[in-house]
Amino acid sequence: MGFIKKNYSDGFFNVGDKNGFLPSKSPLEVLPNSYSILQDILDKMPVNIDGKSGYLDHPGKIHDSVEDLPNYFDNVKEESDIMIIQALYRAYCFLASAYTLEPSFQHFRKTGNYGKAKNILPKQISQPFVEAATKLDVYPWLDYHYAYSLGNFKKIDKSGDHKWNNLDMCVRFSGQPDEVGFIMLHVDINQHSPSLVGSVINVLHALKENNHKDSTKFLKENYDTMKLMNTRRKEMWKASRWNHYNDFRIFIMGVKGNEELFGDGVLYQGVWDEPKQFRGQTGAQDDIIPMEDIFSGVIKHYPKNELTKYLMDLRSYRPKCVQQFFKDLEDTVNEFDGDGISDVLLKQKNFDGLCFLLGILEEIYHFRNGHWQFVQKYIMANTKYSKATGGTPIISWLPNQMKAVMNEMKYVISIIENNSLSKETSMIYNDISNSIGKKVDLLDHQLKLIQKKSFSANKVYDLNKKYDLSDNPN
């Protein structure tokens, strides 16, 4: 058991106040020359390449191209530079998903339903792929950190920032701007993670030292950063049009939980004799909300259900350094007497700090409620296929975690009550305590609707406007 450290690094990611959850250096945009045939396939692969059609636009073409791909297994075995290993892992992740899911994509284009995927990976993909995955100590399937999102961006203007419209993907599936906007917005939000991670670490140190001033200061920093992240998150409605989500969604599906597509799993030829099942890339592998849940105490209200099990299972789909960070964070929070940092703040009579904690919880609520609206629109209003890319039955699961946030909010409101506050924190307290009833009512109303056998996703979505909790600024 260890008190939270300042940094957790694997050479690619460096979780701390300098890089947050982003890589410490920009990822390689292309593979080294020795892998030129693989790079060439990736370049020609997207459905759409600047208005021209790529391999994935034509049934079977990606399979033909893989026939001429050399098996780079021995080369990958020799690699020791983490930047190259990550770029190789990303390359094989994309190729494996394109290769297996292309038939489902073509079927979807024709019928509106996902057809069966191809569930065999030939040696020239599976062997170097598993080798690169083993070197990174991750599963050999498209993930969020090293492959699809955080390790897949390049800046358009190199001196510019990480806003989604200054970012492009190094490797793509659809090639449409909606795919780029969708996943680059995740990177955009994470550009503010250094101050989020830094403030979490600093609050915990300040609480240990019973340092009121610093606890309050860093809780405020965390609250302000969450507000900023929510502002960036709302850009999703602009960055990626909801009715274009299906252009690329099929390619990010996982194997586990999606048996209708993959049957027993995928056979990695020349590696394992049995088919394997790994989960798909999903924003649920992002680190912001899980970190905030552990830190703020929301996690102790997680219901005992399948979503919670799934979220815990997803811990193992993260880089080892992130897993260690979460573990130490959990141990550190549990090391204090009481039931989470709300109780520590109460014991230290830091009511201003508690108000900032309440503000943080409110922002976690907004993140989840806005995100729930993404799911209503991008998925529920868009498709008949009820499984999410991570393999979850989305509709019934997500609201549970929103209830967990509201439970901790109610607890924090109850322990602040009637204590003297500064002008700034009393405004936060009054705003939030006066509006929590509305949030509870909105969710109850939505849950009643979706429990009906047939419901309209648009009606569920429209309720957000009625309660004045709409996320979409347009």
375 belongs to the binding site for ligand HEM (CB under 6 A): yes
Q: How far is it, in rounded angstroms, from Cα 28 to Cα 407?
A: 43
Characterize 288-306 residue by residue with b for buried, 16 or more Cβ atoms within 10 angstroms of its Cβ, and e for exposed: bbbbbbbbbbbbbbbeeee
Binding part of the chain for ligand HEM, among 208-216, 320-328, 339-347, 370-378 by CB under 6 A, reads 370-378
State the minimum distance, in angstroms, from the CB of residue 189 to ligand HEM: 5
CB of 25 to ligand HEM, least distance (A): 21
> Does residue 183 bind ligand HEM (CB under 6 A)?
no
CB nearer ligand HEM, residue 131 or residue 362: 362
- The residue from 374, 385, 429, 461 that contacts ligand HEM (CB under 6 A) is 374
User: How many residues sit in the footprint of ligand HEM (CB under 6 A)?
Assistant: 25
Among 42, 252, 322, 394, binds ligand HEM (CB under 6 A): 394
Query: Is position 371 an interface residue for ligand HEM (rule: CB under 6 A)?
Result: yes
Q: Binding to ligand HEM by residue 186, rule CB under 6 A?
A: yes
Which is closer to ligand HEM, CB of 171 or CB of 189?
189
Q: Which is nearer to ligand HEM, 74 or 306 (CB)?
A: 306
Q: What are the structure tokens assigned to 47, written together? A: 């459905």
For residue 379, state whether it binds ligand HEM (rule: CB under 6 A).
Answer: yes
Residues 6+ apart with CB under 8 A from 132: 76, 79, 85, 88, 89, 92, 140
Q: In the set 88, 203, 236, 358, which binds ligand HEM (CB under 6 A)?
A: 236
Q: Which two tokens stand for residue 118?
A: 């191809």
Q: Does 392 bind ligand HEM (CB under 6 A)?
A: yes
Fill in the per-residue mask, 143 to 182: x = in contact with ligand HEM (CB under 6 A), - = not in contact: ----------------------------------------
d(CA 464, CA 107) in angstroms, rounded, equals 35
Asked if 278 and 256 count as a contact pair (C-beta separation under 8 A), the reply is yes
For residues 283, 286, 290, 292, the Cα torsion angle rounded to the nearest 10 degrees is -110
For strands 120-121 and 267-268, give the pairing: parallel
Tokens of 54: 């790529």
- Shortest Cβ distance from residue 204 to ligand HEM (Å)? 21
Residue 395 near ligand HEM by CB under 6 A: no
Give the burial string for 397-407 (b: 16+ CB within 10 Å, else e). Answer: bbbbbbbbbbb
| Distance spanning both ends of the chain, measured CA to CA | 48
Minimum gap (Å) between residue 183 Cβ and ligand HEM? 9
Smaller CB distance to ligand HEM: residue 91 or 398?
398
One residue of 401, 425, 446, 464 binding ligand HEM per CB under 6 A: 401
The tally of CA atoms less than 13 A away on the side-chain side of residue 215 is 23
Binding region for ligand HEM (CB under 6 A) out of 74-82, 169-177, 392-400, 456-464:
392-400
Rounded distance, CA 305 to CA 279, Å?
18
Of the candidates 431, 453, 112, 146, the residue with the CA atom closest to the CA atom of residue 285: 146
Q: Which CB atom, from 91 or from 442, has the smaller least distance to ligand HEM?
A: 442
Q: Does 135 bind ligand HEM (CB under 6 A)?
A: no
Contact mark string toward ligand HEM, 268..307, x via CB under 6 A: --------------xxx-x-xx------------------
Cβ-based nearer residue to ligand HEM, 13 or 378? 378
Of 193, 203, 165, 399, the closest CA to residue 286 belongs to 193
Among 194, 198, 390, 399, binds ligand HEM (CB under 6 A): 390
Under DSSP, is residue 312 helix (H, G, I), strand (E, B) or coil? helix
- CA neighbor of 371 nearest in space, from 251, 289, 315: 289
355 sits near ligand HEM (criterion: CB under 6 A): no
- The DSSP secondary structure of 234-280, one letter per residue, reads TTHHHHS-GGGTHHHHGGG--STT-HHHHTT-BEETTT-SS-B--PP
Residues found near ligand HEM in the complex (CB under 6 A): 185-186, 189, 233, 236, 282-284, 286, 288-289, 311, 368, 371, 374-375, 378-379, 388-390, 392, 394, 398, 401
